[in-house]
Amino acid sequence: MDTLPRDWPEWLETVKTFSLSDFLAWALRTFSPDLAFSTSLGREDQLLLWHLDQTVATLGLSPKSLDIFTLDTGRLHPATYELWEANRSTFRLPVRGVYPEASAVETYVNTQGINGFYRSLESRKACCQVRKVEPLKRALKGKRAWITGRRADQAATRQKLPLLEWDSAFGLIKINPLAEWTQQQIEAEIAVHKIPVSVLHAQGYPSIGCAPCTRPIADGEEERAGRWWWENPEHKECGLHLAVEPKFRFQREKAHGPS
């Protein structure tokens, strides 16, 4: 899709009262098999994976009804790989790895240095471009919709995050089922369903990215303060999620919470 779908107004009206389970079932019915879910294997994404696993089974769909992937940058925490492997025996839905082009990584490292991203914002964005943005573009090619685990209260850059938006950069619908959820709601739902999560969360990492670019946060800091902590808050996105025009957003007035 290169332009706003003609069903957009109907979709905005349809999702207004959806619970999380309803939302995911609607996404599967509407966009499968051209539906993607990108997971960083963080708390939110593990919760979504659990719900998707349940919903696919309830609807009697094939695991191939959607494409679930993670961007393996080559610089992830060991704990992230351990959880990824553990998911294989926990969920019916597989999580495939998407990798950067080896030649692009080689060029970046040989020109910028192995940890060149610490030197400047431009160098850090160049690393994210090679290791995350370009692989994501390949992973989303041909997709109609993309599910993410972002939440509005995670950071200043996400305060106006809608439930549903048109992403003109990738030419698809972006679905943010947890946009209105709080960290406390996420943790409570995970505890109820005994969903496995990264050991890093208990070590002070609410948001987990590449190991060199993530640190634990201090009390009172926003959740994504540990991501690229040497940069200003307004810069703490990697290019995967760009600003969307207000007319292409939908956010209901009241959060519905866990379901």
Annotated catalytic, 238?
A: yes
Sequence letter at residue 210: C
Is residue 181 scored above 50 in pLDDT? yes
Question: How large a percentage of the chain has pLDDT more than 70?
Answer: 87
Instruction: Kindly state whether residue 189 falls inside one of the protein's structural domains.
Output: yes
Choose the weakest-confidence range: 14-18, 72-76, 92-96, 122-126: 14-18
Tokens of 256: 């519905």
Which pLDDT band holds residue 6 (cuts at 50, 70, 90)?
A: confident
The whole-number pLDDT of residue 258 equals: 53
Q: What is the mean pLDDT of the chain?
A: 88
Q: Judge whether 37 lies within some domain.
A: yes
Residue 252 lies in a domain: no
* Residue 250, SS3 per DSSP: strand
Q: Is the pTM of this model over 0.85?
A: yes
Of 46-55, 76-85, 236-245, minimum mean pLDDT range: 236-245
Show the tokens assigned to 179: 């946009």
Given 128, 210, 213, 238, which residue is catalytic?
A: 238
How much is the pLDDT for 127?
Answer: 96
Range of the domain at 191: 8-247
pLDDT at 241 exceeding the cut of 60: no
* Candidate ranges 173-182, 188-197, 237-246; pick with highest mean pLDDT: 188-197
**Does residue 258 lie in a domain region?**
no
> How many CB atoms within 10 Å of residue 138?
11
Whether the per-residue pLDDT at 175 is higher than 50: the answer is: yes
Domain count along the chain: 1
What is d(CA 45, CA 50) in angstroms, rounded to the nearest whole number? 9
> Residue 253: pLDDT above 80?
no
Sequence-separated contacts (24+) of 192-197 with Cβ below 8 Å: 193/50, 195/46, 195/47, 195/50, 196/46, 196/83, 196/86, 196/87, 196/90, 197/42, 197/43, 197/46, 197/83
Residue of 173, 156, 154, 155 whose CA lies nearest to 165: 173
For the domain that residue 71 is a member of, what is the CATH number? 3.40.50.620
Domain annotation covers residue 3: no
Any domain includes 254: no
Look at residue 55 and give its three-state secondary structure.
helix
The percent helix, strand, coil of the chain (3-state, each to 5) is: 45, 10, 40
Burial class (CB in 10 A: 0-12, 13-18, 19+), 60: exposed
- Give per-residue pLDDT as tens, 111-170: 999 999 999 999 999 999 999 999 999 999 999 999 999 988 766 655 678 889 988 888
pLDDT in tens, 77-124: 999 999 999 999 999 999 999 999 999 999 999 999 999 999 999 999
Give domain status of residue 17, yes or no. Answer: yes
